[in-house]
Amino acid sequence: MPTSLDAIQPHGGALIDRTVDADVKDGLLERAQSMPKVKLDERAQSDLEMIAVGAFSPLRGFLSQRDYHAVVESMRLTNGLAWSVPICLQVAAEVADGLKEGQQVALTDESGKVLAVLDLEERFRPDREVEAQRVYLTTELAHPGVRAIKEAGEVYLAGEIHLLERPDTVAFPAYHRDPTQTRALFRERGWRTIVGFQTRNPIHRAHEYITKCALEIVDGLMLHPLVGKTKGDDIPADVRMRCYEVLMAKYYPHDRVVLSVYPAAMRYGGPREAIFHAIARKNYGCTHFIVGRDHAGVGSYYGTYDAQKLFDQFQPGELGIQPLKFENAFFSKTTGQMATQKTAPGGPETQVNLSGTKVRDMLRAGELPPPEFSRPEVAQILIDSMKG
């Protein structure tokens, strides 16, 4: 384990920065006005930002064809470095037909505002059925990750990027920290070991329990909720952030926990996305990463602990971040406290472990779930948001 501040290296050894320096920004922005334009959707915009600020280090742009195939087939870049999810820029064929390798392309948001310049190195047409099966373990359109790649363009553009402007989708500025900023914050606090917790849901008592168990063995905890694009029936990020804030204020030690947002898009990639999430948190400066039940899963596409098992396929130290694997947590009526199957006797009848459907039904009816399941302040925020 690291023994000095900033001891954990970014993935690949260096934190990438593809933001354009102020002294050349105006000139490049002016030239970009006459470049061919490619419009980015919300997911592509978040990928653009994450590459540029180093959250997706060592990527310097969108994957080349060789790296794409290596990632899909072997969960590695062509240089052998572990990488589990392809980060690609998809465009329609008619858009790609108007572009040439070797030229620069202006990347814009939906309104036409130029966000970045792409050094176009390649255009290629992969087999998206193969990508879906290998990465998501299904080709069904009901899977949101599969649907995203199949509904986007059939041609992939590759090349390094130069970020000129942040997307307007940047949210929660008080908590929006790039990897350089989280690393500086950890250093300022004197933390040598930091555990990251990924979530796209409000934190209930089971989540609180596993994060606090992890906090027992490290210096600090970074609650790192994903606030990029999610599927339509997920709880909105602004509602979730209010839940995190009230938990931070009342139930966590202020000097040992940081709330910071992760502005990436959710891919619902299960085991592969768990690896991807861990690598990104390593870039943010975390030394440990919590991997719980059905990490990044959706529906019944993945086994309960498949994500934890996938970490075991990598050599010790290869990922450069320590996974902390937790079983499903619940309130044990037998022991009178939060627990898992490892620490509490008794079967399901002794556990307070409500389904998501049951909790949503209670909230819609204005009923607070039992305090053993959710902090009442969190439940009240959710009830109020459903009424709204």
Q: What is the pLDDT of residues 64-97, one digit of tens each?
A: 999 999 999 999 999 999 999 999 999 999 999 9
Say if residue 238 is in the same domain as residue 331.
Answer: yes
Query: Tell me, what amino acid is at 70?
Result: A
Any domain includes 148: yes
Query: Tell me, what amino acid is at 177?
Result: R
pLDDT tens-digit readout, 128-145: 999 999 999 999 999 999
Any domain includes 17: no
For the entire predicted model, the pTM comes to 0.96
Distances (CA, A) of 124 to 88, 154, 155, 340: 11, 9, 6, 48
Any domain includes 3: no
Which of 103, 128, 163 terminates a domain? The answer is 163
What is the helix (H) or strand (E) element at residue 245, kind and residue range? helix 237-251
* Confidence at residue 316, expressed as pLDDT on a 0 to 100 scale: 86
328 is catalytic: no
Confidence of residue 362 (pLDDT cuts 50, 70, 90): confident
Say if residue 101 is in the same domain as residue 73.
Answer: yes
Any domain includes 15: no
Say if residue 150 is in the same domain as residue 288.
Answer: no
Confidence of residue 357 (pLDDT cuts 50, 70, 90): low
Q: Residue 370, Cβ neighbours under 10 Å: how many?
A: 14
- CA 256/CA 285 separation, integer angstroms: 15
Any domain includes 16: no
3-state secondary structure of 332: strand
* Confidence at residue 272, expressed as pLDDT on a 0 to 100 scale: 98
Which of 117, 133, 163 terminates a domain? The answer is 163
Domain encompassing residue 65: 22-163
- CA 141/CA 343 separation, integer angstroms: 40
Say if residue 26 is in the same domain as residue 118.
Answer: yes
Burial classification of residue 293, based on how many CB atoms lie within 10 Å of its CB (0-12 exposed, 13-18 middle, 19 or more buried): middle
* Confidence at residue 354, expressed as pLDDT on a 0 to 100 scale: 74
Any domain includes 5: no
Distances (CA, A) of 379 to 176, 231, 371, 372, 376: 25, 21, 9, 12, 5
**For the chain, how many structural domains are there in total?**
2
Mean pLDDT of all residues in the chain?
Answer: 95
pLDDT tens-digit readout, 284-299: 999 999 999 999 999 9
**What is the DSSP code string of 349-378?**
GGEE---HHHHHHHHHTTPPPPTTTS-HHH
Catalytic-labelled residue, pool 201, 242, 293, 353: 201
* pLDDT over threshold 80, residue 356: no
Say if residue 32 is in the same domain as residue 159.
Answer: yes
* Confidence at residue 170, expressed as pLDDT on a 0 to 100 scale: 67
Catalytic-labelled residue, pool 200, 272, 281, 375: 200
Any domain includes 13: no
* pLDDT over threshold 60, residue 1: no
Any domain includes 273: yes
* pLDDT over threshold 80, residue 388: no
353 is catalytic: no
Say if residue 203 is in the same domain as residue 279.
Answer: yes
Cβ-Cβ contacts under 8 Å for 205 (sequence gap 6 or more):
329, 331, 338, 372, 373, 374, 375
- What mean pLDDT is predicted for residues 357-377? 88
pLDDT tens-digit readout, 106-134: 999 999 999 999 999 999 999 999 999 99
- Here the CATH number for the domain that contains residue 45 is 3.10.400.10
Say if residue 135 is in the same domain as residue 192.
Answer: no
Q: Residue 193, Cβ neighbours under 10 Å: how many?
A: 18
Residue 34, both tokens: 């006459």
Tell me phi and psi for residue 13, to 5 degrees: 100, -15
* pLDDT over threshold 90, residue 361: no
Say if residue 63 is in the same domain as residue 143.
Answer: yes
Say if residue 368 is in the same domain as residue 295.
Answer: yes
pLDDT tens-digit readout, 227-275: 999 998 889 999 999 999 999 999 999 999 999 999 999 999 999 999 9
Which of 143, 163, 183 terminates a domain? The answer is 163
* pLDDT over threshold 80, residue 7: no
With a pLDDT cut of 70, the percent of the chain lying above it is 97
* pLDDT over threshold 50, residue 378: yes
- Here the CATH number for the domain that contains residue 185 is 3.40.50.620
* pLDDT over threshold 70, residue 189: yes
Say if residue 238 is in the same domain as residue 152.
Answer: no
Starting at the earlier edge strand, list the strands of the sheet with 337-339. 337-339, 330-332, 351-352
Say if residue 158 is in the same domain as residue 196.
Answer: no
Say if residue 144 is in the same domain as residue 178.
Answer: no
